[in-house]
Amino acid sequence: MKVVILDDAANVAKYGAGIFLDQLAKKPDSVFGLATGSTPLSLYRELIDSNHRGEVSFAGVKTFNLDEYMDLAPEHPQSYRHFMNREFFDHIDINPDNTRVPPGDAANPLVACREYEAAIRDAGGIDIQLLGIGRNGHIGFNEPTSCLSSRTRVKTLTRETIEDNARFFREGEFQPQLSITMGIGTIMEARLVVLLATGRSKAKAIRAMVEGPVSAWCPASALQMHPATVVIVDEDAASELTDPAFFKHIEAQNQALLARLQGQA
């Protein structure tokens, strides 16, 4: 697990976007796993700007989103499909048919989960999976006690997650208690995982993920076992790590090595 600590949220977004841009330069038909929420928004805006400047194209890209609320139609303003269209897909040159979000309004969600897994396999697997992290250590909607080998499935949301997301719903509006989410096992099959976290409210979860035992109580801790995970955090999100200076030293050495190797090319 590579941990990169940067000054602020803007630099977190730029660093994360750079990983996606580098991937597209190598493989224009990449398959991306995407996430919703406030944390990845700045990264998406960086990618949109690069697309508008003509530096990158998404014409050959396929995407699979992590999760979706159950019982919300795609056009519902709080659905994650609506979010992705509004914040990202509608602003780039991607083929809408190549963007997949779990169908929260599926007549048979259990069948829909199996079909989502099959679609990921048929696409050749995910090249880069983007993640945020919940205050309780969840990734996607894999809440504490989730099986660390789980596949795409229906998942009940914790009270903490429901309360965290309540700000997006009007008073009295229906707020889902269930979701469809990629499983932890599904996420672990991505070739590269990029996790972003900003703000002091995520500091305990980052510490548990990076330093704690691998445990279903912190689902993100499973990423300790992933061969290629990059955790990109700002100073606040890194504030409870035991030795953040060590991670900064490692990154400085990695950048120096990369510069040396590029100089030899």
How distant, in Å, are the alpha carbons of 75, 86, 105, 122 from that of 81? 7, 9, 11, 21
Alpha-carbon torsion, ordered 87, 89, 93, 94, to 10 deg: 160
| Residue 136 a catalytic site member | yes
From 67, 117, 189, 234, the catalytic residue: 67
Q: CA-CA distance, 139 to 91, in Å (whole number)?
A: 26
- Are 80 and 36 in contact, with CB atoms under 8 Å apart? yes
Token pair for residue 79? 């659905």
From 46, 68, 127, 143, the catalytic residue: 143
Q: CA-CA distance, 88 to 47, in Å (whole number)?
A: 9
From 46, 138, 189, 234, the catalytic residue: 138
Burial-class residue 257 by CB neighbours within 10 Å (0-12, 13-18, 19+).
exposed
CA of residue 34 relative to chain centroid, distance: 5
| Residue 76 a catalytic site member | no
3-state secondary structure of 62: strand
From 136, 142, 189, 234, the catalytic residue: 136
| Residue 67 a catalytic site member | yes
Active site residues: 67, 136, 138, 143
